Structure 1
Amino acid sequence: MYHTDYREETFYDVVRRLEPEPFKSVTGLTQEQFELLANLGVFNKALMNDAVYKFKRYEDSSFTYTKKQITTS
């Protein structure tokens, strides 16, 4: 369930805009540390973005199943 109408498009959207506090709680990384590690190529950006896309795809199908209309960007 979303608290806003905003839906993430990439993993970076989740970390930077949508869920920065839970990300920090789970990983122990600050935004600055995350940015540094991301710039160093520690995270597989394509794989993580693919996971976000697949989650949204399955989530969208559940909205269709429940006949709830959600607009995705």
Structure 2
Amino acid sequence: MSYEDCLTVARAELATARALIQDELRAYPTPVSGCDAQYNHLIGLRGSITDALRSLDAPRFVATPRTPEPFAGVESR
């Protein structure tokens, strides 16, 4: 298995987890008060999963001697 395969599996599993949490939130009994800890926990988990999916697809800056910081430009030689 390649790392691309692993990332594909990770994305699929995270998407499945997000869908399951969304279903649970949809089925949550109403009314929901602002201090409902379980509901708030589910909202937080959903956000964490969304952040994880975004981070898998976001470009990552890797510093090199020619570009020590993001947006520094590329030195040509």
Fold in common (TM above 0.5): no
Q: How high is the TM-score relative to the length of structure 1?
A: 0.37
User: Bigger radius of gyration, 1 or 2?
Assistant: 2
Q: Which has the higher helix share?
A: 1
Q: How high is the TM-score relative to the length of structure 2?
A: 0.35
Task: Point out which structure has higher relative CO (alpha carbons under 8 A, 6+ apart).
Answer: 1
